[in-house]
Structure 1
Amino acid sequence: MRASNWGMIWTAVMPLAVILYYFFRKKYKDQQVSSTLFWQERMRELQASPYLKKLQHHLLFYLQLAALLFCVLALIEPFSESETLAGNDFIFVVDTSATMLAGAPTHFEQQQQNMKNLAAQAGGKPVTIVTTGISPKVVIRNEQDLEQVDKAIDQLAVSFEKAEIEQTILFADTLAVNDSTIIHIFTDSLDRSVFANKTGQSYHIHGFTETLRNVSIRQFGLSKMDNGTRGIVQLVNNSEEALPATVRLSSGSVEKEVDVELAASEERLVPFEDLPDDMLWQATVEVADDYSTDNTMATYLAPPVREVAIESALHELIASGFRSLSLDVTLLESSQLKPDSGVPLVTNQRDLLEGPTPILLFGRNDENPFKVAGQIETKGHPLFTYASLDEIYVSQLYPPFESYETIATIDDHPFIQVSPKGDIVVLTDVQLTDWPLSPSFPLFLWSAMESLSGDAEFLGYFQPNEHRSVSLASKTGEWEIFREGMYSHSYIEGSGPFIAPAEPGIYKVVGDEKEMTMIVQLNSQEKTLSAGSTYKMGQVEAVQDMVRFSFVPFLIGLILLLVVVEWEVYRRGITTR
C-alpha cells in the first residue's frame, strides 16, 4: 500500500491531543469532609489502577481515537497499484472447435480460466468475446462489468465445428475500434503464418506447448461383398509413443472387436470380415489417450447415388438441370435404357416403371395429352419443400395412373404422382410448360434425386451445426431430433435451413409416424492434435499500464460507522447517570 498525499501527515497530532487530554484530565476534587469520608476517599485513590489500565474502561476514548486515526489515514489518500493489460480495449477470440476438449483439465477449461485472469487485469476497459466457427458469433460487445464478462466466459461451450480461425480473425479485425485494440486468441495451436500479412492490430496468441497422446478413427466404411458385408476402420496414432488399442464394431446386439498395437505416428487399416447385413454400424477405439471425441465414428451402408441416366429423346433442358446439380449425367437411346441398372432413369417410357430401377417419368409415350388451365395445387410432400410451383404454367397434361398417389394437381387433374415403389411421374413434357425457366425446376430435380437415390430411412451425413436444405415434409410440419432416446431439439418446416446437432453421434429424426436416421461426424481436421505456443504478433506492444485502487471510500465508510457507534455509546452513558 502506498499514499499519494503525505503532506497531510501533520494531522496525526489530533489523535495525540486526545490521548494527552485523557492522560492529564483531573480525576478528583479536593474538598473538606469528615474524617471517615476522607479516609475512604484516600483509600480509593491508593487502589486506583495506572493510567493505561484506566483507559481500558473508556470505550468512548477508543472509538474517538480510532475515528481520528482513520481520518488521518484517509487524508494521506492510501492506494494500491496493480498492472493492467496493455491497450484501451480487448477482443477475446475463443476457439470452440472439438480439439479444445483434449487434455485433463481440457484446453477449453484452461483457456476459460486464462480469460478470466486477463479480464480481471483489464482494469474496467471494454472486453468483446467472439467464438470461432463457420459463422463467428459475438457473445458480448464492449462489456466493462467484470461480473458480466465472467458470466459470459462461464457460459461458453465447445461447438465441435471446424475452427475456421483465420475467418474469425478477419471478423474480429472489423470489430477493432482503433490501433490500441488488442486481440487475444485463445486456442490450442495456431501457426504464425496466419499473421504474415497482418500489421494493423496487435495479436496475443495463447496456445499450449504440451504434446498429447491421441488415437483417432480417421475413416470408417462398409461395402457389400459376395459373402457378406466388409468393414474397414482407418486408425491414426497421432502420438510420439506406441499405444495398444481395441477396435470394436457394433450394430444393435452384434459386436466384433480386434486388438492392435499402434506404433508412434502409425496409420493402419483394420478390416472386419463377414459382418451381418445391418445398415447402421458404429466403430469405437478404446485407448488410453488424451482426446476421446474422435474415438467413435458411425456409418450407414447405403451410399448416395451420384449419377443419373437420361433418355436422349427428352428435352435437353432436363439434362442441363441435372448437370447444374453436379451429377454425372449419361444420355442413352431408348433401346439402351436398362430397367435393372440401379441408376435412376429419367425417361417417358411407361414400361420401365415395372422394373426395379428408380424412375423419374416426364410425360408418357403411351398416351396423348389434353389441354388444361388453372393454378397448380400441391400437397405436403418432401419434393415441394424447396421447389415452389406457384407461378408455373402448364398447357397440357397426360392421363394419370390410377393406383399412384397424386401430390400435385391442375384444375383437379393430376400433375405429379408417386408410384407405390417410389417412382416419380410428371404428367407433362418439358416443352409443354415454362417450368425449366423457373428456379424451382433444378430444386425439384434435386429433391427428386434425393428421393429416388437415397434411403428413405437415412437423412444423411452432417458435420456439427451444419446448415443444409433437406427434404422433410410431415402433416404437422414439426420434426423432433433424439439421441440415444433423449430429446435434443426440434425443426419446424419452413423456418429456415435444417441445422444439424452440435455433438457428433447417431440421431433419430422423428415426424408424425416417420423416423429417419442421421449421422453427425467430426471434420477430419478436428481429429489431429498439434502442439502450439504462446506468442505475440502485429504492432509493437504498448507499455504496460498501471491501475490504482484507492482505499479512501472504504475508510470513509468505516469512519461513519465508528461515529454511529460512538454516538450510541455516549447516549447510553448519559441515560445511566
Structure 2
Amino acid sequence: MGASNWGMIWTAVMPLAVILYYFFRKKYKDQQVSSTLFWQERMKEMQASPYLKKLQHHLLFYLQLAALLFCVLALIEPFSESETLAGNDFIFVVDTSATMLAGSPSHFVKHQQEMKNLAAQAGGKPVTIVTTGISPKVIIRNEQDLQKVEKAIDQLAVNYESAEIEQTILFADTLAVNDSTIIHIFTDSLERSVLINKTGQSYHVHGFTETLRNVSIRQFGLSKTESGTRGIVQVVNNSKETIPATIRLTSDSVEKRIDVELAASEELLVPFEDLPNKQLWQATVEVADNYSADNTMATYVAPPVDAVVIDSALHELIASGFRSLSLDVALSDSSQLQPDSGIPIVTNQRDVLEGPTPILLFGRNDEKSFEVVGQIETKAHPLFTYATLDEIYVSQLYPPLEGYETIATIDDHPFIQVSPKGDIVVLTDVQLTDWPLSPSFPLFLWSAMESLAGDAEFLGYFQPNEHRSVSLASKTGEWEIFRDGTYSHSYIEGSGPFVAPAEPGIYQVVGDDKEMTMIVQLSSQEKTLSAGSTYKMGQAEAMQDKVRFSFVPFLIGLILLLVVGEWEVYRRGITTR
C-alpha cells in the first residue's frame, strides 16, 4: 500500500477551507411570527429527533467534505502492490503423455491447478501454452485475458503420446520473444542434463518427487503350438515394495488367471499354456497401484509380413520393387516353389493358385496374351488407395480367370483380379507395360503385400495418435472407428493419413459391410514411472516482480456518487423553503 504522488498532499487545505467557511459563516437568530405558529404542531415529530434534525441540517456539509477528502486521496494516487511472476511473458510447456495420469489426484490435475495459480500471478502478462507430443501444439499464444487462459488450461487433456519433451522445448524456444521470456515446464520428471546447455532462455521445471506404486505389462506375445496357443506376459514391478497381482488373459468368453507376487523391481515372465486358437487376446494385470494406463495390453495372432518368395523366371524389376520395400526377398526356381510354405509367392505359374499360400500372379504361363488399347479403369479397393493407374500403358493382356473378382479393366477386359481366398492376379507381364517406371508400381507392391501377408480382418498395431498410411477402400469412402460399440471418430479416404485414436485399447474400423480390428497400445517408455524434482535453470532471477493496482478509478467513482448526492440534498433544500 502506498501513494505515487505525495506532492499533491497540499490539496488537503481545500477541505480545511470548507470547514472554516462553515465556522465563520453568518449566523441567524430564530424569530417566531404569527404565520409560523400554525406549523409548530407539524414540526413536533422532527423536534422529537434532534439527531436526525442535526443530520439533515449538516448533510450537505458532510457530503462536500467527503468529496473533497476523496479528491485529495485521488490526487496523491494511492495504490496496492502484489507479487507477480518474474519475467515479461511466459510459456507453459505441458506434458500430456500417459504417465501424467499417475497418482490420485493425477499429476496432470495437479499441474492444471498449479498453472492456474501461476497465470493469476502473471499480472496480465502474456501467456503461451504448448503441449508435448510428436507434433507439439500451441493451444494459446500471448494471451493476457486470465479467464481465457484458465479456460484453455481446463480444456487440456492427456493424449497418451510419448512426451518428446526435448523436441517440445526446442519448439518452445522458437516462440520466446526475448531473454525476459520464462519457460515453465510441467512434467513428472526431467533430467537437468536436458537443459544444461540451454543458456538462451530461463526454465522453471515443475516435477514430482513422490515415488508411486506401479506394476505394468511390458510385453505380451502369443505363439502357435501343436496343442493350441501359448501366451507369455512380461510383468514388471516398478516399485520398491513387494506387490501381489493377478494376471488375466481374455478372448471373447474365454478367461485364464494366474496369481503372482512381484518383488521390488522384479521382472517376471508369466506363461499361459494350451490356450484356445483365437486370434485376439487381451492381458490385464489386476493390482492395487497408482497408474492404471499400463495395466492392459492386447495382441493379435497374424501371419508374418517380412518376407516374399519371387519366381526367378519373372523380370528382375519385380524383385527390385520388393527390395525397395525393405522385405526379405528370396528368388526361387519355378519348379521349386512351395505352395504350402505360408510365405507369399510372386510368380506366373497358374497351378500354384490352388495352394494355401498367398499368391501374387504376374502374367500366366498357361495362356497366350492378346493386344489391348485403352485407359485403365479401377474399382474401389485397398490395392488402389495409394497406387493410381491413370497414366499406365499396357500393350497386352492374358485371359481372365473364372470365378475371380475383377477390380481393374482395360477396354472392358480384366486387368487385375482377386481370388476368393485373397490371391491377386495381374494379367500382364512386366515387359508388356511401362508400369515399373511409375512411382505407383512399388506402392502397388506394398499394398499387395499388406493384402496377401496380412489378415483381412486386422488393420495393425498403432501408438496413440499415430499418423500412418493404410490400405483402406470402400464404396462410400468413409470408415467409422468404434470402441466397445461406442463411436470414436471417422476417417475419410483421401483426406490425409489415417490417425489412430488417442486412448489405448481395441478398436473396430467399420466401412460399408467390412469390419477390421486395430490395436492401440502405449509405447514402452510410457510404462515406467520415475520421480523428479522442481528446479530452475537459465538466466532468470529468483526474485519476483511486483504489480501495482491503482485505487484512483475507484475513488473517482465514489466522488461522482457524492456529487450526485450533494445535488439531490441541495435540490430538496430549495424546494422545502
Fold-level similarity (TM above 0.5):
yes
1:564 and 1:431, CA in 2 relative to 1: closer, same or farther beyond 3 A?
same
Distance 2:371 2:475 in 1: 32
Match of 1:446 in 2: 446
Question: How does 1:3-152 map onto structure 2 within 5 Å?
Answer: 3-16=3-16, 18=18, 29-31=29-31, 54-55=54-55, 59-152=59-152
Report the CA distance between 1:554 and its aligned residue: 1.5
Alignment-derived partner of residue 560 in structure 1:
560
For 1:345 and 1:575, how far apart are their aligned partners in 2? 111
Q: 1:513 corresponds to which residue?
A: 513
* Structure 2 counterparts to residues 484-523 of structure 1, below 5 A: 484-523=484-523
Is the 8 Å Cα contact of residues 199 and 538 (structure 1) preserved in structure 2?
yes
Aligned-pair CA distance for 1:123: 2.6
In the alignment, structure 1 residue 217 sits paired with structure 2 residue 217: yes
Q: CA deviation at 1:367?
A: 1.1
Take 2:217 and 2:275, find their aligned partners in 1: how far apart are those partners?
Answer: 19
Compared CA separation, residues 30 and 406, structure 1 to 2 (3 A)? closer
Matched, 1:285 2:275: no
Q: Distance in 2 between matches of 1:106 and 1:571?
A: 65
Equivalent pair of 1:509/1:518 in contact (CA under 8 Å): yes
TM-score normalised by length of structure 2: 0.93
- Secondary structure of 1:293's counterpart equals coil
- The equivalent residue for 2:198 is 198
Residue type at the aligned position of 1:139:
I
Instruction: Confirm or deny: 8 A CA contact 2:248 2:283 kept in the other structure.
Output: yes
Describe the superposition over 1:265-294 as per-residue Cα deviations: whole angstroms up to 9, x where unpaired.
111112222222222121111211111111
User: For residues 316-331 of structure 1, what are the structure 2 equivalents within 5 Å?
Assistant: 316-331=316-331
Question: Could you say which residue in structure 2 is the equivalent of 1:178?
Answer: 178
SS in 2 for 1:340: coil
Residue identity matched to 2:78: P
State whether residues 87 and 542 of structure 1, in contact with CA within 8 Å, keep that contact through their aligned partners in structure 2.
Answer: no
Cα offset, 1:259, TM superposition: 1.9
1:383 Cα deviation from its structure 2 partner? 0.2
- In 2, the alpha carbon distance for the partners of 1:53 and 1:265 equals 87
1:129-166 superposed Cα distances (whole Å, 9 cap, x missing partner) = 11111111111122222222222212111111011111
1:407 corresponds to which residue? 407
Asked whether the equivalents of residues 469 and 497 of structure 1 are also in contact (C-alpha less than 8 Å), the reply is yes
1:176 aligned partner, one-letter code: A
Give deviations 1:79-126, integer Å, cap 9, x for gaps: 112233222222221111111111122111111222222222223222
1:426-459 CA deviation, whole Å, 9 max, x = no partner? Answer: 1111122121121111111111111111111111
Which deviations, in whole Å up to 9, do the C-alpha atoms of 1:530-564 show, x marking residues without a partner? 01111122335376432211111111122222323
Cα distance in structure 1, aligned partners of 2:219 and 2:210: 26
Partner of 2:294: helix, strand, or coil?
helix
Q: Does 1:478 align with 2:478?
A: yes
Segment of structure 1 superposing worse, 61-70 or 427-436: 61-70
Contact conserved, 2:182 with 2:540, CA < 8 A, in 1?
Answer: no
- Kindly tell me: are residues 74 and 312 of structure 1, through their superposed partners in 2, closer, same or farther at Cα, counting changes over 3 Å? same
What is the CA–CA distance in structure 1 between the aligned matches of 2:245 and 2:380, rounded to whole Å? 49
Query: Which whole-Å CA distance do the structure 1 matches of 2:518 and 2:501 have between them?
Result: 10
Distance 1:242 1:20 in 2: 87
Counterpart-to-counterpart distance in 1, 2:398 and 2:33: 140
- Aligned CA distance change for structure 1 residues 435 and 19 (closer, same or farther; 3 Å): same
Distance 1:562 1:288, change over 3 A: farther
Say how many residue pairs are matched.
Answer: 573
Distance 1:32 1:534, change over 3 A: closer
| Paired residue type of 1:267 | E
Query: Is contact 1:23-1:51 (8 Å) kept?
Result: no
Q: Could you say which residue in structure 2 is the equivalent of 1:238? A: 238
Structure 1 partner of 2:361? 361
Deviation, structure 1 residue 309: 1.0
Indicate conservation of the 8 Å contact 2:86/2:540, yes or no. Answer: no
Change (3 A) 1:477 1:77: same
One-letter amino acid of the structure 2 residue matched with residue 522 of structure 1: L
Whole-Å Cα distance in 2 between the matches of residues 571 and 214 of structure 1?
A: 78
Quote how far apart the aligned CAs of 1:469 are: 0.6
Distance of 1:76 and 1:469 partners within structure 2: 69
The one-letter amino acid paired with 1:437 is L
Does the 8 Å contact 1:93/1:183 carry over to 2? yes
Secondary structure, counterpart of 1:326 in structure 2: coil
1:338 alignment partner, SS class: coil
| Alignment partners' CA distance in 2, 1:251 and 1:571 | 89
How has the CA–CA distance of structure 1 residues 275 and 562 changed in structure 2, closer, same or farther, with 3 Å as cutoff?
farther
**Structure 1: any 5+ residue segments left out of the alignment?**
none
Give the direction of change, closer, same or farther, for the CA distance of 1:519–1:51 in structure 2 (3 Å limit): same
Distance 1:464 1:290 in 2: 21
Q: Tell me, in whole angstroms, the C-alpha distance in 2 between the residues paired with 1:568 and 1:81.
A: 37
Q: Which amino acid aligns with 1:480?
A: E
The aligned residue for residue 541 of structure 1 is 541
Correspondences of 1:210-359 after superposition (within 5 Å): 210-359=210-359
Which amino acid is the alignment partner of residue 100 of structure 2?
M
TM-score, scaled relative to structure 1: 0.93
SS at match of 2:383: helix
Q: Percent identity?
A: 88
Question: For 1:441-494, what per-residue CA distance to the aligned partner results, in whole angstroms no more than 9, with x for missing partners?
Answer: 111111111111111111111000000011111110000111111111100001
Gaps in structure 2 of 5+ consecutive residues: none
Contact 1:4 1:77 in 2 (8 A): yes
**Residue identity opposite 2:172 in structure 1:** A
Change in Cα spacing, 1:296 to 1:19, as seen in structure 2 (3 Å) is: farther
Structure 1's 435 and 64: CA in aligned 2 closer, same or farther, altered over 3 A?
same
Q: Which amino acid aligns with 1:391?
A: E
* 1:307–1:72 CA distance, 2 compared to 1 (3 A): same
Per-residue CA distance 1:396-450 (angstroms, 9 max, x = gap): 2111112111111112211111011110001111122121121111111111111
SS in 1 for 2:309: strand
How far apart in 1 are the matches of 2:14 and 2:233?
A: 86
Q: Report the CA distance between 1:516 and its aligned residue.
A: 0.9
1:332 and 1:233 map into 2 onto residues whose CA distance is 38
Report the CA distance between 1:376 and its aligned residue: 1.2
- 1:313 is aligned with what amino acid? A
CA drift of 1:343 comes to 0.8
Q: 2:121 & 2:291 partners in 1: Cα distance?
A: 32
Output the CA distance in 2 between the equivalents of 1:447 and 1:245: 43
Q: CA deviation at 1:298?
A: 1.3
Cα 1:20/1:277, change in 2 over 3 Å: farther
The 8 Å contact of residues 230 and 271 in structure 1, kept in 2 or not, is answered as: yes
Counterpart in the other structure of 2:459: 459
Call closer, same or farther: CA 1:297–1:59 in 2, change over 3 Å: farther
Counterpart-to-counterpart distance in 1, 2:429 and 2:281: 43
Does the 8 A contact of 1:100 with 1:158 survive in 2? yes
Name the Cα RMSD after superposition.
2.6
- In 1, the alpha carbon distance for the partners of 2:483 and 2:20 equals 81
For 1:106, give the aligned amino acid. Answer: S
SS of corresponding position for 1:294: coil
Change (3 A) 1:321 1:32: closer
Tell me how far 1:13 sits from its aligned partner.
4.2
